[in-house]
């Protein structure tokens, strides 16, 4: 059992949590547990969980930026997944003390269709400026020309043109929906897909590979693996920063630590970025290495009394 003293020490930056306890907390964050349930199971304060998530999130963002580079992909798919922070957009105006970033929160993701590697992710609104940041970042991580597929969001057109120019085979896939079947109707029943439209935009994309299936399947994995994306719960993000930290941690876990069922290796291994399976202990080591070193205690010379 972890006593309150150790929990408080970690919050104050002394990092007294043992490695096995940090591994347990981080693993539960990546497997869909809420922060309060982790607090109860691991016998730590919720502030300790939040502080550990922040530290891990910052390290994971730097790790992703450093390691996911010069990726040799063939087919890349892009999509956006919706969630909300603090309150749904329609309720923000009436919410009390709504923080900056409250409301609709979109997570943009780009995935390599072969290795299932998440190449790039970005959190922001569903607009042209965010699309530009997202696509520019993804283009900088690729080592070669790729076939690129997105949904029909118009913001992608200018973003892809600015990031790739003519050096891409780009197409959009638009799905057509009808009413949900009577037998499947409910509060969140999806509409029935009645058809698709494949539209080549740039280059010569192979029509049989114009698809967003893998990135949409990844969206489902995100909803199942992070409590913040689960519908009809109170586990949604209360702060935008915490939302970003959780996503940052999850994608390092997904790319480098989680064995993909069909690939039999991690996406990072399948993409040729590493030959080793990363563990949560390795992440804890990275966090320890990046933590600020404690400064030397100040010493003071005693003043000699004038009376002496």
Question: Is 129 within 8 Å of 108 (Cβ atoms)?
Answer: no
Question: Is 89 within 8 Å of 104 (Cβ atoms)?
Answer: yes
Give the per-residue pLDDT at 163.
97
C-alpha span between 261 and 148 (Å, rounded): 24
Give the per-residue pLDDT at 95.
86
Give the per-residue pLDDT at 93.
87
Give the per-residue pLDDT at 281.
97
Report CA Rg, the chain. 23
Q: What angle do CA 217, 188, 96 make, to 5 degrees?
A: 105
- Residue 151: name the closest of 133, 119, 129, 177 by CA: 177
Give the per-residue pLDDT at 10.
52
Q: What angle do CA 187, 189, 191 make, to 5 degrees?
A: 135
For domain 4-165+211-290, the CATH class is alpha beta
CB count within 10 Å of CB 191 equals: 13
For residue 100, give the 3-state DSSP assignment: coil
For the record, the structure tokens of 177 come out as 């929906």
Continuous H helices in 142-226: 155-164, 213-225
Give the per-residue pLDDT at 1.
42
Q: What are the pLDDT tens digits along the chain (308 aa)?
A: 444 444 544 544 445 789 999 999 999 999 989 999 999 999 999 999 999 999 999 999 999 999 999 999 999 999 999 999 998 888 888 888 888 888 899 999 999 999 999 999 999 999 999 999 999 999 999 999 999 999 999 999 999 999 999 999 999 999 887 776 665 566 666 677 778 899 999 999 999 999 999 999 999 999 888 888 887 777 888 899 999 999 999 999 999 999 999 999 999 999 999 999 999 999 999 999 988 776 665 555 555 544 44
Name the helix (H) or strand (E) containing 121: strand 118-124
Give the per-residue pLDDT at 5.
46
Question: Is 59 within 8 Å of 45 (Cβ atoms)?
Answer: no
**What are the phi and psi torsion angles at 142 (to 5°)?**
-95, 145
Give the per-residue pLDDT at 301.
54
């Amino acid at each position: 059992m972890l006593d309150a003293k150790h929990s408080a020490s970690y919050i104050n930056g002394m990092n007294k949590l043992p490695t096995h306890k940090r591994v347990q907390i981080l693993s539960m964050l990546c497997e869909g547990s809420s922060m309060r349930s982790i607090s109860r199971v691991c016998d730590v304060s919720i502030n300790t969980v939040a502080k550990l998530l922040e530290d891990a999130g910052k390290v994971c963002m730097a790790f992703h930026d450093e390691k996911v580079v010069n990726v040799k992909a063939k087919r890349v798919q892009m999509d956006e997944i919706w969630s909300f922070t603090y309150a749904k957009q329609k309720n923000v105006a009436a919410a009390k003390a709504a923080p900056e970033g409250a409301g609709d929160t979109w997570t943009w993701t780009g995935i390599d269709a072969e290795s299932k590697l998440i190449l790039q992710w970005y959190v922001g609104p569903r607009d042209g400026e965010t699309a530009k940041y997202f696509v520019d970042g993804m283009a900088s991580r690729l080592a070669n020309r790729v076939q690129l597929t997105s949904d029909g969001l118009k913001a992608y057109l200018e973003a892809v043109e600015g990031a790739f120019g003519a050096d891409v085979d780009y197409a959009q896939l638009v799905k057509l929906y009808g009413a949900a079947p009577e037998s499947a109707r409910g509060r969140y029943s999806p509409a029935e897909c009645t058809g698709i439209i494949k539209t080549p935009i740039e280059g010569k994309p192979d029509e049989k590979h114009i698809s967003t299936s893998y990135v949409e399947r990844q969206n489902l994995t995100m909803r199942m693996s992070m409590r913040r994306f689960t519908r009809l719960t109170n586990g949604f993000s209360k702060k935008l920063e915490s939302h970003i930290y959780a996503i940052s941690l999850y994608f390092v876990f997904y790319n480098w630590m989680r064995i993909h069922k069909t690939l039999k290796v991690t996406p990072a291994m399948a993409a040729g970025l590493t030959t080793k399976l990363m563990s949560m202990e390795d992440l804890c080591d990275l966090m320890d290495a990046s933590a600020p070193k404690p400064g030397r205690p100040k010493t003071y010379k005693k003043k000699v009394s004038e009376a002496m």
